Structure 1
């Protein structure tokens, strides 16, 4: 629906998905207070329907949903949407985190949580730039694709190829890779990566960087023992380039 407002004044849209109706309502109220337009869903099927109809900027998604669980919802969501996804989990276990992020989630929050903190993390994510592929008229201003051996990173189109074959990365995975590729051979600490990719307002644990690096390596077929693209510098952080 056309609100008549300028593009930069349009209200951001959030979809909250949780079968705990009261909790979903609390989160929705906090988001509305922060000037979001909010829709609610309490099961996976309805979540996917609303995601297509509502086209949210961010989805707050519980893992333990009836019917289609949050992991599968996120997997299907990524087929047609690039909305930021924050997974909610009642279990403080690494496997939930790894599986959730591996299907395209950008962040995770363990229950119980502070709705105020959740909104702050959502805002921090939304401050990250969302680049669009350049139009043909922009060809003169396109930046040169970055190359590390057979790996090519096109910043403008947000595309990555390895040996000429496309590599499908989530938005966050691409942002981490793009950041490391800005200064090949230079070590970046986890804190530097957090501040650049997740934003200065990030309040979660820094191991989220390690999780996304792990996903990148798997998709790039990179080895931790003999890396070609992303090297761990023990006790410091990561750098682009072989070990």
Structure 2
């Protein structure tokens, strides 16, 4: 059963979201009205998805996300004010997977939650069925192991949030092919996600910091201006 955490200081909004999610069959729902409460809950429970408001009374939601990422790779969906583009970008940079703009229809939240969890389950199911391990050699010092969810850089494992890793796996499975932002949303985020260049760009930037020798001059994750992104992989880059 999916474990969901709702974090917002508006008690009425928390109640509406909880009731709406309950009606759709989500019963393992925890709530927090402050950042400190949310961080303590993440240390205590293994959440599948977290809905996190950026504006909290004690700790900024962005800092809460940073601290959550030390404990959890759960999907994190930010709640942001309508025109706060800067918060959206920073939220993705610190480890968020997607964002939802206020005001919103609670049914939109439910649809987004279902889409993200459905894709995550499909990915997990696929990983359990596939043997032996699928390993990509992205460079002399970088390996990606699909089934174990690992990125190995210089023989050390690098932490990677779920959505970020899912994007990397998709590009590894389709090497040397350019994908537009719209296509990456469709294949990795799902049809209900926002078609915004910033989300893809920030996730690519985060991946580059993990796998590129020089993130400012990438040789693995390439941006073909006006076309999209591709992952460069030599013919012998995939190991099985």
TM-score by length of 1: 0.83
Is the contact made by 2:172 and 2:231 (CA closer than 8 Å) also made in structure 1?
Answer: yes
State the secondary structure of the residue aligned to 1:160: strand
Q: 1:98 aligns with which of 70, 89, 99?
A: 89
Higher RCO (C-alpha 8 Å, min separation 6): 2
Residue 21 of structure 1, CA deviation:
1.3
1:111 equivalent to 2:102? Answer: yes
State the secondary structure of the residue aligned to 1:188: coil
Is the contact made by 2:78 and 2:99 (CA closer than 8 Å) also made in structure 1?
Answer: yes
Partner of 1:18: 8
State the secondary structure of the residue aligned to 1:172: helix
1:143 equivalent to 2:157? Answer: no
Is the contact made by 2:136 and 2:145 (CA closer than 8 Å) also made in structure 1?
Answer: yes
Partner of 1:214: 205
Q: 2:22 aligns with which of 32, 44, 48?
A: 32
Q: How many residues align?
A: 227
Report the CA distance shift for 1:234/1:158 in structure 2 as closer, same or farther (over 3 A). Answer: same
Residue 222 of structure 1, CA deviation:
5.8
Separation of aligned partners in 2, 1:159 and 1:107:
22
Is the contact made by 2:82 and 2:103 (CA closer than 8 Å) also made in structure 1?
Answer: no
State the secondary structure of the residue aligned to 1:141: coil
Partner of 2:154: 163
Structure 1 segment 171-186 matched on structure 2, within 5 A: 171-186=162-177
Any unmatched runs of 5+ in structure 1? 1-9
Any unmatched runs of 5+ in structure 2? 234-240
Separation of aligned partners in 2, 1:183 and 1:55:
32
Structure 1 segment 48-67 matched on structure 2, within 5 A: 48-67=39-58
Is the contact made by 2:35 and 2:64 (CA closer than 8 Å) also made in structure 1?
Answer: yes
Separation of aligned partners in 1, 2:216 and 2:63:
32
Separation of aligned partners in 1, 2:205 and 2:41:
31
TM-score by length of 2: 0.84
Is the contact made by 1:167 and 1:220 (CA closer than 8 Å) also made in structure 2?
Answer: no
Bigger Cα displacement from structure 2, 112-121 vs 165-174: 165-174
State the secondary structure of the residue aligned to 1:79: coil
Is the contact made by 1:222 and 1:230 (CA closer than 8 Å) also made in structure 2?
Answer: no
